[in-house]
Amino acid sequence: MLNDAEKILISEDELHNIVSRLGSQITSDYKGKNLLLVSVLKGAVVFMTDLMREIKIPCKIDFMATSSYVGAKSTGVVKIIKDLDEPIEGMDVLIVEDILDSGRTLSYITSILLKRNPASLKICTLLDKPSARVVDTVQPDYVGAEVEDQFVIGYGLDYNEKYRNLPCIAILKKEIYQNNGSKE
Ligand code: IMP
Ligand code: MG
Protein backbone atom coordinates (compact mmCIF):
# COMPACT_ATOMS: atom_id res chain seq x y z
CA MET A 1 0.00 0.00 0.00
CA LEU A 2 2.83 2.39 0.86
CA ASN A 3 4.07 2.01 -2.75
CA ASP A 4 1.15 4.21 -3.78
CA ALA A 5 2.25 6.91 -1.33
CA GLU A 6 4.46 9.85 -2.28
CA LYS A 7 5.65 10.16 1.31
CA ILE A 8 4.62 9.62 4.91
CA LEU A 9 3.21 12.85 6.31
CA ILE A 10 2.43 11.86 9.92
CA SER A 11 4.02 8.77 11.46
CA GLU A 12 2.35 6.38 13.92
CA ASP A 13 4.31 7.93 16.81
CA GLU A 14 3.33 11.45 15.81
CA LEU A 15 -0.32 10.37 15.52
CA HIS A 16 -0.16 8.94 19.01
CA ASN A 17 1.19 12.24 20.40
CA ILE A 18 -1.43 14.27 18.55
CA VAL A 19 -4.31 12.08 19.76
CA SER A 20 -3.16 12.05 23.38
CA ARG A 21 -2.80 15.87 23.34
CA LEU A 22 -6.36 16.21 22.00
CA GLY A 23 -7.63 13.66 24.54
CA SER A 24 -6.15 15.59 27.49
CA GLN A 25 -7.59 18.89 26.24
CA ILE A 26 -11.05 17.35 25.82
CA THR A 27 -10.79 15.67 29.24
CA SER A 28 -10.20 18.98 30.99
CA ASP A 29 -12.66 21.00 28.87
CA TYR A 30 -15.57 18.57 29.36
CA LYS A 31 -15.28 17.78 33.10
CA GLY A 32 -18.79 17.65 34.60
CA LYS A 33 -20.48 17.78 31.18
CA ASN A 34 -22.63 15.28 29.27
CA LEU A 35 -20.07 14.45 26.62
CA LEU A 36 -21.29 12.68 23.49
CA LEU A 37 -18.72 11.91 20.81
CA VAL A 38 -20.30 11.79 17.36
CA SER A 39 -18.09 10.22 14.77
CA VAL A 40 -18.52 10.56 11.05
CA LEU A 41 -18.22 7.18 9.33
CA LYS A 42 -16.17 5.71 7.92
CA GLY A 43 -13.03 7.85 7.78
CA ALA A 44 -13.08 9.01 11.41
CA VAL A 45 -13.43 5.55 12.94
CA VAL A 46 -9.74 4.89 13.56
CA PHE A 47 -9.26 8.35 15.07
CA MET A 48 -12.43 7.95 17.19
CA THR A 49 -11.39 4.64 18.72
CA ASP A 50 -7.96 6.00 19.66
CA LEU A 51 -9.26 9.37 20.85
CA MET A 52 -11.97 7.95 23.13
CA ARG A 53 -9.35 5.95 25.01
CA GLU A 54 -7.37 9.16 25.65
CA ILE A 55 -10.46 10.82 27.19
CA LYS A 56 -10.47 10.13 30.93
CA ILE A 57 -14.03 11.24 31.80
CA PRO A 58 -17.33 9.41 31.12
CA CYS A 59 -18.63 9.84 27.57
CA LYS A 60 -21.07 8.26 25.15
CA ILE A 61 -20.46 7.59 21.47
CA ASP A 62 -22.69 7.59 18.40
CA PHE A 63 -22.15 7.43 14.65
CA MET A 64 -23.35 9.18 11.53
CA ALA A 65 -22.54 8.46 7.93
CA THR A 66 -22.55 10.95 5.07
CA SER A 67 -21.42 10.74 1.50
CA SER A 68 -19.93 13.47 -0.66
CA TYR A 69 -16.82 12.10 -2.32
CA VAL A 70 -16.35 10.00 -5.42
CA GLY A 71 -12.67 9.14 -5.74
CA ALA A 72 -10.57 12.22 -4.95
CA LYS A 73 -13.12 14.75 -6.18
CA SER A 74 -15.88 16.26 -4.07
CA THR A 75 -19.28 16.13 -5.72
CA GLY A 76 -20.39 19.02 -3.52
CA VAL A 77 -23.52 17.09 -2.54
CA VAL A 78 -23.72 15.82 1.03
CA LYS A 79 -26.33 13.32 2.11
CA ILE A 80 -27.00 11.40 5.32
CA ILE A 81 -26.68 7.66 4.87
CA LYS A 82 -26.92 6.80 8.59
CA ASP A 83 -28.36 9.04 11.30
CA LEU A 84 -27.63 9.00 15.07
CA ASP A 85 -29.31 6.32 17.20
CA GLU A 86 -30.34 8.62 20.08
CA PRO A 87 -31.65 12.18 20.55
CA ILE A 88 -28.92 14.69 21.47
CA GLU A 89 -31.00 17.24 23.36
CA GLY A 90 -29.09 18.48 26.43
CA MET A 91 -25.89 16.66 25.43
CA ASP A 92 -22.49 18.31 24.94
CA VAL A 93 -21.85 17.01 21.46
CA LEU A 94 -18.34 16.82 20.06
CA ILE A 95 -18.17 15.87 16.40
CA VAL A 96 -15.12 13.72 15.68
CA GLU A 97 -14.03 14.05 12.03
CA ASP A 98 -11.07 12.72 10.08
CA ILE A 99 -10.46 15.76 7.89
CA LEU A 100 -11.98 19.17 7.33
CA ASP A 101 -11.56 19.90 3.63
CA SER A 102 -14.10 22.05 1.74
CA GLY A 103 -16.19 22.24 4.93
CA ARG A 104 -19.37 21.08 3.18
CA THR A 105 -19.80 17.91 5.20
CA LEU A 106 -19.37 19.56 8.60
CA SER A 107 -21.46 22.58 7.66
CA TYR A 108 -24.32 20.24 6.73
CA ILE A 109 -23.91 18.04 9.83
CA THR A 110 -23.67 20.96 12.27
CA SER A 111 -26.77 22.63 10.81
CA ILE A 112 -28.76 19.41 11.25
CA LEU A 113 -27.49 18.72 14.78
CA LEU A 114 -28.03 22.29 16.01
CA LYS A 115 -31.76 21.93 15.26
CA ARG A 116 -31.89 19.07 17.79
CA ASN A 117 -31.01 21.36 20.74
CA PRO A 118 -27.73 19.98 22.07
CA ALA A 119 -26.35 21.78 25.17
CA SER A 120 -23.26 22.53 23.07
CA LEU A 121 -21.81 21.50 19.73
CA LYS A 122 -18.11 21.53 18.90
CA ILE A 123 -15.84 20.02 16.28
CA CYS A 124 -12.69 17.95 16.73
CA THR A 125 -10.91 17.15 13.47
CA LEU A 126 -7.73 15.14 13.18
CA LEU A 127 -6.65 17.03 10.05
CA ASP A 128 -7.50 20.47 8.75
CA LYS A 129 -6.90 21.57 5.15
CA PRO A 130 -7.62 25.32 5.48
CA SER A 131 -6.54 26.15 1.91
CA ALA A 132 -9.29 23.87 0.50
CA ARG A 133 -12.10 25.56 2.41
CA VAL A 134 -15.19 26.48 0.37
CA VAL A 135 -17.65 26.87 3.26
CA ASP A 136 -15.91 29.17 5.75
CA THR A 137 -18.66 29.22 8.37
CA VAL A 138 -17.25 26.01 9.86
CA GLN A 139 -14.50 26.49 12.45
CA PRO A 140 -12.90 23.47 14.12
CA ASP A 141 -12.50 23.75 17.93
CA TYR A 142 -9.83 21.04 18.17
CA VAL A 143 -7.34 20.33 15.35
CA GLY A 144 -4.78 17.52 15.33
CA ALA A 145 -2.65 18.89 12.48
CA GLU A 146 -2.95 21.21 9.50
CA VAL A 147 -2.16 19.76 6.08
CA GLU A 148 -1.57 21.25 2.63
CA ASP A 149 -4.13 20.83 -0.13
CA GLN A 150 -2.96 17.33 -1.09
CA PHE A 151 -4.88 14.06 -1.06
CA VAL A 152 -3.97 12.08 2.05
CA ILE A 153 -4.63 8.45 2.94
CA GLY A 154 -4.32 6.13 5.94
CA TYR A 155 -5.44 6.05 9.60
CA GLY A 156 -9.05 5.74 8.39
CA LEU A 157 -8.75 7.98 5.34
CA ASP A 158 -9.36 6.29 2.01
CA TYR A 159 -9.11 6.65 -1.71
CA ASN A 160 -11.97 4.64 -3.25
CA GLU A 161 -12.26 2.66 0.04
CA LYS A 162 -8.59 1.62 -0.03
CA TYR A 163 -5.70 2.45 2.37
CA ARG A 164 -7.87 2.99 5.50
CA ASN A 165 -5.81 0.42 7.40
CA LEU A 166 -2.46 2.17 6.91
CA PRO A 167 -1.27 2.99 10.45
CA CYS A 168 0.19 6.38 9.40
CA ILE A 169 -1.01 9.31 7.27
CA ALA A 170 0.58 9.50 3.82
CA ILE A 171 0.23 11.60 0.67
CA LEU A 172 -1.27 9.64 -2.21
CA LYS A 173 0.73 9.74 -5.46
CA LYS A 174 -0.98 12.02 -7.97
CA GLU A 175 -0.87 9.41 -10.76
CA ILE A 176 -3.07 7.10 -8.67
CA TYR A 177 -6.03 9.48 -8.65
CA GLN A 178 -5.35 11.72 -11.65
CA ASN A 179 -7.24 9.53 -14.13
CA ASN A 180 -10.29 9.29 -11.84
CA GLY A 181 -10.76 12.98 -11.09
CA SER A 182 -8.41 15.52 -9.58
CA LYS A 183 -8.76 18.05 -6.78
CA GLU A 184 -9.18 20.88 -9.35
P1 IMP B 1 -15.46 18.23 3.03
O2 IMP B 1 -16.94 18.07 3.04
O3 IMP B 1 -14.96 18.67 1.68
O4 IMP B 1 -14.90 19.06 4.15
O5 IMP B 1 -14.84 16.77 3.11
C6 IMP B 1 -14.88 16.01 4.22
C7 IMP B 1 -14.71 14.55 3.89
O8 IMP B 1 -14.07 14.33 2.63
C9 IMP B 1 -13.81 13.91 4.90
O10 IMP B 1 -14.55 13.44 5.99
C11 IMP B 1 -13.16 12.79 4.09
O12 IMP B 1 -13.94 11.64 4.16
C13 IMP B 1 -13.12 13.30 2.68
N14 IMP B 1 -11.80 13.87 2.33
C15 IMP B 1 -11.47 15.16 2.16
N16 IMP B 1 -10.17 15.31 1.88
C17 IMP B 1 -9.65 14.06 1.89
C18 IMP B 1 -8.31 13.55 1.67
O19 IMP B 1 -7.31 14.24 1.43
N20 IMP B 1 -8.18 12.18 1.76
C21 IMP B 1 -9.23 11.35 2.02
N22 IMP B 1 -10.48 11.80 2.25
C23 IMP B 1 -10.69 13.14 2.17
MG1 MG C 1 -15.23 11.30 6.36
Q: How does pLDDT run along the chain (184 residues), one tens digit per residue?
A: 889 999 999 999 999 999 999 999 999 999 999 999 999 999 999 999 999 999 999 999 999 998 765 556 566 667 889 999 999 999 999 999 999 999 988 999 999 999 999 999 999 999 999 999 999 889 999 999 999 999 999 999 999 999 999 999 999 999 998 866 544 3
Cβ-defined contacts of 23-27 (< 8 Å, 24+): 23/51, 23/53, 23/54, 23/55, 23/56, 24/54, 25/142, 26/51, 26/55, 26/94, 26/124, 26/142, 27/54, 27/55, 27/56, 27/57
Establish if 87 belongs to a structural domain.
yes
Per-residue pLDDT at 41: 93
CA–centroid distance, residue 106 to ligand 2 (Å):
10
- Helix, strand, coil content of the chain in percent (nearest 5): 25, 35, 35
Number of domains in the chain: 1
Per-residue pLDDT at 59: 98
Residue type, 52: M
- Please list all protein residues whose beta carbon sits less than 5 angstroms from ligand 2, which is an ion: 40, 43, 98
Establish if 109 belongs to a structural domain.
yes
Ligand approaching nearest to the C-alpha of 162: 1
Establish if 89 belongs to a structural domain.
yes
CA–centroid distance, residue 99 to ligand 2 (Å):
7
Q: Is the model's pTM score more than 0.85?
A: yes
Per-residue pLDDT at 177: 87
Per-residue pLDDT at 1: 81
Ligand approaching nearest to the C-alpha of 110: 1
Establish if 8 belongs to a structural domain.
no
Which sequence positions are flagged as catalytic? Answer: 101
Establish if 156 belongs to a structural domain.
no
Per-residue pLDDT at 180: 63
Range of the structural domain that residue 111 is part of: 14-150
Q: Domain containing 127 — which CATH number?
A: 3.40.50.2020
